[in-house]
Amino acid sequence: MQTQMPGSLPDYQIDPYRLAEDDLKDMFDDIRLELITNTTQEELQPISTYYLDGQGKAIRPILTILMARAINYHKGRNVLSHSQRQIAMISEMIHSSSLLHDDVIDQSDIRRGKPSVNVVWSQKKVAMAGDYILAVACRMLSRLQNDEVTITISQIVTDLVQGEFMQLGSKETENERFAHYLTKTYRKTASLIANCSKAVAILAEVDDHMIEMAFQYGRNVGLAFQLVDDLLDFVASSEALGKPTAADLKLGLATAPVLFACERYPELNAMIMRRFQEHGDVKRAFELVHKSNGLEQTRFLAKKHCAEANKIVQSFAKSPYQKALIIMADLVINRMK
Ligand code: FPP
Ligand code: MG
C-alpha cells in the first residue's frame, strides 16, 4: 500500500481489508482484462469472468498480499512487487477456475446469491471456461520466469484435483475417515492459500525457514477456513451464505461436524457409508449433528489451527501487515458467510 508507512498504525486501527485495499483496488479489472484479451471467442469472456466480479470475499488475494507485505517488511521493504501482485491475481483465478468446475460437478443452483454459472451456460462451456481461466493463469505464471514459484503454484492444481477426487466416492474405514477428511481438506482448500503464501515468500528472496513459515501460516489458516465452511453448512442461513445449507449432506459428504457427531451417535456410520442416500438420512444426520457437540469440536479444531497460524506469524517483524495476518486468522474463525 503506497499511502501507509509500516509501523504507523496503532493496534486498534488495523483493518486487514483497508490495508490490502490499494493493492486490491484494480485487481479484478486486471484479471478480467487478461481473460478478455486472451481470447477471440466472445462467449468465453462472460463465462470466465462470471465469478470474477469483485463481489466475492477475495480471501485468497488478501491473504497473499498481506503475507507478501509482512515478509517484505521483515526484509526492510515497503513495496509489493509486480510478481507478488501477479501471484495474488493467480490465486483468485485458480480459485475461480475451480469454482466453475465445482459447480458443474455439484450441479449447483446458486452461488453468492446469484444463479450458478452452470445454470446460465451449458456444462460443457462452463468446464472449458474453467480450463481457459487456468490456462491464462499459467501464462501469467510463466511470465514470472521463476521455476521454484512455477512448481509451487502448479502443486495447487494437482492438490485441487486430488482433493476433489478424494471427495467423489471413497470408502475409507471408520479409523481412516478423519485423516482422509483432513488430507482432502488440505488439498481442496488449504494448499491454495499455503502455496500462494509460499510463492510470495520465495519472490521476497527470504531464507528457507521463512518460506516454510509462510507456507505453514497459509496451511493452518486454510484448514481453519474450510473447517468453518463445513460448520457454516450446518448453522448459517442460506441467505447469509448465498447458497443452500446442509449442501454437503445432500451431496453425500461427511465433513468434520458429522465425523465428530459419530462418536456420540454411531448410527451415523451407516448413513455415512451410504452417503446419506436413504430417505430421511439428511434430516436425521442434520439433527444428530446439532444434538451432538460436533459443531463445538469443529470450531475448536479450527481455532487450534488459527492459534498455530498466529504463533507462526509472531516470529515475523512487527508490522501492520503482520498484525493484519493475525486478525485475518480471527476473522476466518468468526465469519458468518
Ligand atoms: C468448492 O467446494 C470447491 C473447491 C474448493 C475445489 C474444487 C476443485 C475442483 C473441481 C478440481 C478442478 C480444479 C481446477 C482448478 C481445474 P464445495 O463444493 O465444498 O464448496 P461450495 O459449497 O462453495 O460449492
Ligand atoms: Mg460445490
Domain layout of the chain by residue ranges: 11-329
pLDDT at 199: 98
Low-confidence stretches of the chain (pLDDT beneath 70): 1-12, 170, 238, 336-337
pTM of the model: 0.93
DSSP structure class, residue 318: P
pLDDT score recorded for residue 7: 45
Q: By three-state DSSP, how is residue 114 classified?
A: strand
102 lines ligand 1 (CB under 6 A): yes
Would the CB of 9 count as within 6 Å of ligand 1?
A: no
Q: Is 295 in the pocket of ligand 1 (CB under 6 A)?
A: no
Strands (E), the chain: 110-111, 114-115
Atom of ligand 1 nearest to the CA of 131: 16
Which amino acid belongs to residue 323? K
How confident is the model over 110-169, as pLDDT tens digits?
999 999 999 999 999 999 999 999 999 999 999 999 999 999 999 999 999 999 999 987
Q: What pLDDT is recorded for position 83?
A: 98
CB 22 within 8 A of CB 1: yes
Q: 317: exposed, middle or buried (C-beta count within 10 Å: 0-12, 13-18, 19+)?
A: middle
Domain 11-329: give its CATH architecture.
Orthogonal Bundle (1.10)
Cell of 253: 459428504
Residue with the nearest Cα to atom 16 of ligand 1? 98
Position 334 scores a pLDDT of: 87
Question: How distant, in Å, are the alpha carbons of 73, 200, 204, 275, 331 from that of 211?
Answer: 14, 9, 9, 40, 24
Taking residue 334's Cβ as centre, other Cβ atoms within 10 Å add up to 9
What is the pLDDT, as a whole number, of residue 310? 96
CB 294, CB 258: distance < 8 Å: yes
Output the CA 189–ligand 1 centroid distance in Å: 8
- Cβ 105 under 6 angstroms from ligand 1: yes
The grid cell for 176 is 481412516
Does the beta carbon of 95 sit less than 6 angstroms from any atom of ligand 1?
no
Ligand 2 centroid vs 126 CA: distance in angstroms?
14
Q: Which residue has the cell 525457514?
A: 209
Report the pLDDT value the prediction gives residue 1, as an integer from 0 to 100. 35
* Average pLDDT score over the chain: 93
Residue 237 confidence (pLDDT): 74
Four-residue CA torsion sign, 52, 53, 58, 64: positive
**Secondary structure letter of residue 187 according to DSSP:** I
